[in-house]
Amino acid sequence: MQNTIQHKFEKEIIQVQTRDELEAVYQTYFARKSGSFSKLMQGLKDLSKDERKLYGKALNDMKMKMEKAYDSKKAELNKVELSAQIAKEHIDVTQPKLPVKERGHIHPRTQVRWQLEDVMSSMGFIVEDGPELESDYYVFDTLNIPSYHPARDTQDTFYIKNHPDWTMRSHVSNMQVRLMHKYNENGTKPIRAAYPGRTFRNEATDATHEHTFYQFEALMVDRHITIANLVGVIKELLHALYKRNIEVRLRPSYFPFVEPGFELDIKYVDTNKNEKWMEMLGCGLMHPNVLKAAGYDSHKWNGLAFGMGLDRLVLLKYGIEDIRFLMSCDLRFLKQF
């Protein structure tokens, strides 16, 4: 009878699938009052002393075996449940790292612009931003560029539909008279200013031309400005940017808003170790008509101005061969600088 109970118990236990089922089986045998095994134990007290001793030992052995079966089933079920949980919460460490959000990167053009701005402000120049959509008054008229001048040609300049006197500025020189109007107190104060900015020209895009590009310009007006001042400021700027002495030369050139006007070339050594001159920027002494437009007495005041393509400087500084990279927003390119 006792053995039958043990076998029945063991058989039932083998079949259970969950811990709840296991617990239920356990209770039918071992619940304090109603469990079938507990009842056997309770029956011991009705036996004689010797019988009690005999049966008691046998029952205890049985209980131990049944509990062992129960324990090992419980351990087995725990293991099954644990591995199910592990499978569910599994992390595949061999899975490739998912892309993380990348931090931005300072564009090489911005880096160069910041450097130029730093040098200019160290020489006492204010740095100002200006409008990209501009009246032809500041882009052309104040700069001694009359309405018949070819620079106004629509082949170069973007005009705004239904606004014949609005342009997307074709150079940042629009800032010259703008800034002088703003700061020279009706032609009574000197000024030093640098003004980087975005400019637009109706150009076919190729390796060295973009319809949208950046310029960096500066002007200085005082009582005794000379070409030596002009060259001195430019050399200082280039020296700071390229971290070496730069040999420069001036070639006469024509810009309506300077007189005399020059192109400034810089000397560089090409990959075959040949010395070469490269055209770098336009410059000159401020034309009297510009000084007048700004409210100065052109007999008492004079000035200098120079302007260059910012992208050009960037290409040169880093040895980049195509200007279109600068507009590409391609991080593989941009992160190299």
Binding region for ligand PHE (CB under 6 A) = 171, 173, 217, 255, 258, 282-284, 305-307
Q: Which of residues 196 and 284 has its CB atom nearest to ligand PHE in the complex? A: 284
Q: Where are the alpha helices (DSSP H) in the chain?
A: 2-15, 19-30, 36-43, 49-88, 108-122, 136-139, 174-183, 227-242, 288-293, 310-318, 331-334
Query: With the C-alpha atoms ordered 17, 21, 26, 29, is the resulting torsion angle positive or negative?
Result: negative
What is the crossing angle of helices 310-318 and 227-242, to 10°?
40
Separation of first and last alpha carbons in the chain: 89
Distance in Å, CB of 325 to ligand PHE, minimum:
22
Distance in Å, CB of 276 to ligand PHE, minimum:
21
Distance in Å, CB of 206 to ligand PHE, minimum:
18
Only one residue has tokens 């000024």, namely 191
The answer to whether 6 and 62 are in contact (CB under 8 A) is yes
Query: Could you give the CA distance from residue 285 to residue 225 in angstroms, rounded to a whole number?
Result: 8
Q: Which of residues 25 and 120 has its CB atom nearest to ligand PHE in the complex? A: 120
Q: What are the distances in angstroms from CA 306 to CA 229, 292, 323?
A: 11, 19, 22
Q: Which of residues 6 and 302 has its CB atom nearest to ligand PHE in the complex? A: 302
Query: Could you give the CA distance from residue 279 to residue 209 in angstroms, rounded to a whole number?
Result: 15
Q: Which of residues 6 and 184 has its CB atom nearest to ligand PHE in the complex? A: 184
Q: Which of residues 104 and 252 has its CB atom nearest to ligand PHE in the complex? A: 252
Query: Could you give the CA distance from residue 45 to residue 52 in angstroms, rounded to a whole number?
Result: 7
Q: How many CB atoms are located within 10 Å of the residue 224 CB?
A: 7
Query: Could you give the CA distance from residue 307 to residue 194 in angstroms, rounded to a whole number?
Result: 10
Distance in Å, CB of 318 to ligand PHE, minimum:
22
Distance in Å, CB of 269 to ligand PHE, minimum:
26
Distance in Å, CB of 169 to ligand PHE, minimum:
10
Query: Could you give the CA distance from residue 220 to residue 204 in angstroms, rounded to a whole number?
Result: 34
Q: Which of residues 171 and 178 has its CB atom nearest to ligand PHE in the complex? A: 171
Sheet holding 258-269, edge to edge: 126-127, 191-200, 212-222, 302-309, 275-286, 258-269, 248-253
Distance in Å, CB of 228 to ligand PHE, minimum:
17
Q: Which of residues 25 and 266 has its CB atom nearest to ligand PHE in the complex? A: 266
Q: Which of residues 25 and 310 has its CB atom nearest to ligand PHE in the complex? A: 310
Quick one: the chain helix, strand, coil %, rounded to 5?
A: 45, 20, 35
Distance in Å, CB of 96 to ligand PHE, minimum:
49
